[in-house]
Amino acid sequence: MSILAQHKYPLSFRHHVYRCHRPFNRTRVCCLAATTTTAKPRRNSDQLVMEPRLDPSPASVTDPNRPVLHDPTLKSTWSHRAWVASGCTTVLISLAKAATGAAESHLWLEPILAGWVGYILADLGSGVYHWGIDNYGGASTPFFGAQIEAFQGHHKWPWTITRRQFANNLHALARAVTFTVLPLDLAFNDPVFHGFVWVCSGCIMFSQQFHAWAHTTKSKLPPLVVALQDAGLLVSRSQHADHHRPPYNNNYCIVSGVWNEFLDRQKVFGALEMMLFFKLGVRPRSWSEPNSEWTEENEIPPKIKAH
C-alpha cells in the first residue's frame, strides 16, 4: 500500500510548491487616524490601581472595629479638651500649694522627696492598671469598659495610639484625675502632701502620652522627649516593645518603666493571676493562646499606583 501510495502521489517539491494553484484570500486592512495628532490614551481595564489601605488581610476588611485612615474616633472633641484642661488645672493647683507651702515653711527637701515617691508609685500604678484592663473584663464592664476595649484594640493595632490626638488620648485619665485631685486641693494645704499628689497625679494623667511616645520613632519625637527616654525617666520604645510580643504578660508599666524588671523577674503579676484564678475561677487573657484579638496588624504605607 505504501508503494502504491508513493507511485500515485509522488512526493515532488515542484509539485507541491510551484504547481499548486490554491487561491489566496486577500484581505484589505484599513487604518483610521484621528484628526488630531495627540489622542487621549484609553484607560487599560487590566491596569492595577492600589488605593491607600491600612492592611490587606481579608479579616481586617470585615472587622467593624478596625480603625481607618482619618478615623474620626481618633480626633479630639471639645469635651475631651475640657476634661484635659480641668485635669491639668487640678494638678497645677496642687503644685502651687506645694510650692507656696514649701516657700512659707522653708522646707524644700520634704516636698521634693514626696514628689519623687509620687513619680515612682505612678509608674507602679500604671503597671497594675495596665495589667488589670489587659487581662480582665470587656467592653460591657462598668466604668472601665471603654478603657478595656481601647486597650484590646491597641494590642491589635498599636500604631493607632500615635494617630490619636492629644486630648483624645488623655481625656479618660484626666477626668479621673479631676474627680480625685480636686477634693484634695480643697481639703489639704500641706506642701509635702501636695508634693506627692501633683507629681503622682500628673504622671498618671500623662502616662498615655508617655505610652504614645513609646510607640513613636525617635526621628519624630522632640529632642527633650528622646533625652528623657534615653535617661530612663520616661518609658522608651525599646523597653515597651516586649509588651507587644508573645506571651503579652510583661512590661506593663508605662510611665518610666522602672518597675518592669522587678515585677517581671519576681513574677508578681503571675502570682496575682494564680490567686484570682483559684479564688474566683477567672482566667486572664494572657493565659490563652494569642488569637486574632492579640495578633498585631501593622500599618502598611499607602501606595499611589502599580502597573
CA distances to 50, 52, 53, 252, 307 from 46, in Å: 13, 19, 20, 50, 9
C-alpha dihedral, 182 to 188 to 193 to 197, nearest 10°? 0
CA distance 217 to 221: 7
Place of cell 496575682: 272
Provide the residue ranges of all domains of the chain, joining segments of one domain with +: 73-287
Dihedral-angle region of residue 106 (phi above 0 means left; psi in -120 to 50 means alpha; beta otherwise):
left
CA distance 51 to 69: 12
Contact 171, 79 (CB under 8 A): yes
Place of cell 488589670: 132
The secondary element (H helix, E strand) that includes residue 94 is helix 78-105
Return phi, psi of residue 171, to 5°.
-65, -35
CA distance 230 to 123: 17
pLDDT at 227: 96
CA distance 54 to 229: 29
Return phi, psi of residue 161, to 5°.
-65, -25
pLDDT at 6: 45
pLDDT tens for the chain, residues 1 to 307: 444 444 444 444 444 444 444 444 554 544 444 444 445 455 554 444 444 444 444 444 445 555 555 678 889 999 999 999 999 999 999 999 999 999 999 999 999 999 999 999 999 999 999 999 999 988 888 888 888 887 777 777 777 888 889 999 999 999 999 999 999 999 999 999 999 999 999 999 999 999 999 999 999 999 999 999 999 999 998 889 888 888 888 999 999 999 999 999 999 999 999 999 999 999 998 888 555 455 555 554 444 333 3
CA distance 174 to 182: 12
Q: Which residues contact 95 (CB under 8 A, 6 or more apart)?
A: 194, 198, 202
DSSP annotation of 306 reads -
In this structure, what C-alpha cell is assigned to residue 13? Answer: 517539491
pLDDT at 42: 53
What is the pTM (predicted TM-score) of this model?
0.72
The CA-based angle 30-32-34, given to 5 degrees, is 170
CA distance 208 to 175: 13
pLDDT at 307: 39
